[in-house]
A and B are shown apart, each in its own frame.
Chain A
Amino acid sequence: MSTTVDTRHPPGVESERHSVKEPEIRHDRQGDMADEQRVEKAMHHFVKNFNTQTASYLDGCLHCGMCADACHYFVRTEDPKYTPIWKIELFKRTYKRQVGPFAFFYRLLGLKRKVTIDQLEEWQHLLYDSCTVCGRCSLVCPMGIDVAGMVSMARHGMFKAGLVPQELHETAKRAAETGSPLGITPEKFEERLEWMADEHEVDIPLNVEQADVLAVMSSIEIQKYPQSMAATAKILNATGESWTFRTDGFEATNFGMLSGNTEWQKDASMKLINTAIKIGAKKLVLPECGHAYMAMRWMGANMYGKPLPFKVQHISEYIADALNEGRIKVKKVDKSVAFHDPCQVSRRGGATKAPRDILKHLGVDFREMKYGGDYNWCCGGGGGVVTIKRADELRYRVFKLKMDQVEETKADELLSSCANCRQSFDDSQQHFNWNYTMGSLMEMVADNLEEDNS
């Protein structure tokens, strides 16, 4: 597929994150489609999978504007274009014009104008750069409309139309081609596992043929936080369950989902599903990654087309179960801790309780952020936004909300259970020279495991 990128403002796929200040406006295009065809494809693939729920959402909006007050982009900029429902305006319009129960009248009377390519290009920024699909807006809507879900659907259309921010597209494409968004091959994964096994003196089972638990990682961890692999191994070893990593199915992230390509999303999910089935796993344990949880826990079975023959858990749920059932024990940690909830695991995924259970077992002085948990402010890097360099400036702006929320707790340590949040925190920390370093809840558990579990 050929790609048209604005050469005056080239994307920064390969460059260092902090080296160049990117211009704010740059519309990216993939493929050689005519403008008309792009518009047609965007709309067709948006409405293709409509059901009662999504149709009622687009029909039911009251234009009350309350979603703006829940969105970090609007709250920090007060720019009305960041109003969540406005981000799907073009698609809402097309729905009413082409699909809705009164589409005929809308067309006949010319009430809804046809969407243009210029508009779609403008909306690329609203659908990708300035939406982390965090779903906070979905909780304020008096009609109960899941705006974030609509943004994901609009992304399906944008992908088919070749209108995805170039860095995100490249990352998703690399994931589809190599199996990892950061290009981590099975050999490299194995190499890094061996390194971590040596460094941390821990047994890391790999490619075991039959095991009860299949553990998977995110490329971000493998590449940037490799100690996560050792921590995972320590915890899983301590439970006494038979488990393994596999080189034929290790990547938990799903950039197909983030970019809006459902085929790639399915491919990534099926790789893990097939591996889990092959080894007879009873459980697939997902790493500290927010969107991986959404992709596999709530969408995996639907990609598979039937119920999965194994359970799917986020590592925090797995650890919480093991602690609650007394299968592992941890030493008390004499620290105050603030916890950042990954949106896709907590607010949208329903696993808000697990990290709190773990923190209780660790005996820390847990400082819940004001409006933490399900109402948490997003780190600003979810939904693929952290990959989009032109969105950096805006991402830093919204991160201020998060900084305030964390600082208010005055906690000693800041933890989360999502490597993507962690990377976004690390980057913002560097940008602001902030004194909080994001840590991993799982790593705290691994570092404080009681040797004797009896």
Chain B
Amino acid sequence: MDLLELARGPVLQAAAYILVGGTIWRIVGILLLKEKPDYSEPRASGGLGAALKVIWTRAFTAEPFKSATLYPKMMAYVMHIGLFATIFLFTPHIVFFEGWTGFDWPGLPNNVIFFIGVATIVSGVALIVRRLTSPVLKLISNFDDYFSWLVTMLPLVTGLLIPVRMGIRYETLLAVHILSVALLLIWLPFGKLGHTFLVFITRGTTGMVFERRGAKT
């Protein structure tokens, strides 16, 4: 079994199992905590609608905070949209997902994806520069922040290197790319990248509690 087969086969499969298992473990660990009922008389409904509302609205910055948070927010938008596009709208990826799920969807032209990939890396660099220079971020950052940044950037960089080649065999580059993806999948449930799924719980529960009070969300 060569490196590519190893990466594409057992490694990716194991990573997928860890991703699913770790995610379930983390979510269940949080959801299983005891809940106390809230007996206060609600001002408004704090049901699922409230949760969905805040899951959506908190993606945007409220006016008073816009100027102070403009730089990280813009970079984070580029990063998230970029990751979504490069992962799900790149035709070879769609072919790969089709192999797994049986579904396919239209992708973006390769050169557009290449451009988006570069922009995503630029936003990543901008964010890490902020983390390394802002006094606030230097204080509150830990291993998880830096490592999570690294494992997010690696698949982007290794993916973009595939067409560049630099005299390296395509199969080797692809294998390295897949291995970096495996690392990302393995790490995702455990560190801060868990916000991929935790965001629905944090924003959702805040929505339910504060909308119920009729308070600002």
Contacts and interface: CB of A to CB of B under 8 A. Distances in A.
Q: Do A and B bind each other?
A: yes
B62 A63 contact: no
Contact of B33 (A51, A62, A311, A348): A51
Given A52-B33, A102-B26, A304-B39, A144 B206 contact: yes
Interface in B154-196: 190, 192, 194-195
Interface stretch (B10-18, B101-109, B118-126, B130-138): B130-138
Contacts of B202: 53, 56-57, 60, 143-145
A226 interface: no
A375 B61 CA distance: 13
A65 B140 contact: yes
Tell me which of B36, B65, B195 has the highest count of chain A C-beta atoms within 10 A of its own C-beta: B65
A302 B40 contact: yes
B41 A312 contact: yes
B150 interface: no
A195 B64 CA distance: 46
B205 A350 contact: no
Interface string B205-217: 1110110011111
A63 B40 contact: no
A53 B145 contact: no
Interface residues of A, number: 64
B45 to A, nearest CB: 13
A105 B143 CA distance: 15
A111 to B, nearest CB: 7
How many chain B residues sit at the interface, stated as a range, is: 35 or more
Interface string B59-101: 1011111001100110010000000000000000000000000
Given A55-B33, A63-B141, A65-B134, A349 B39 contact: no
Contacts of B30: 52, 55-56, 59, 101
Interface in A16-73: 49-53, 55-57, 59-66, 68-70
A146 interface: yes
B199 interface: yes
Interface string A267-311: 000000000000000000000000000000111111011111001
Interface of A: 49-53, 55-57, 59-66, 68-70, 74, 78, 80-81, 83, 85-86, 89, 100-102, 105, 111, 138-146, 297-302, 304-308, 311-312, 346-352, 371, 374-375
27 contacts: A53-B205, A53-B206, A56-B30, A59-B194, A60-B194, A60-B199, A63-B137, A66-B68, A68-B136, A85-B140, A86-B140, A100-B29, A102-B29, A140-B69, A141-B58, A143-B198, A143-B202, A144-B54, A144-B217, A299-B40, A300-B40, A301-B40, A302-B38, A302-B40, A306-B39, A312-B41, A371-B64
Given A52-B35, A146-B206, A371-B63, 18 more contacts: A51-B35, A52-B31, A63-B144, A64-B137, A70-B65, A81-B139, A83-B140, A102-B190, A143-B58, A144-B54, A144-B199, A144-B207, A300-B40, A307-B39, A308-B40, A311-B41, A350-B213, A375-B63
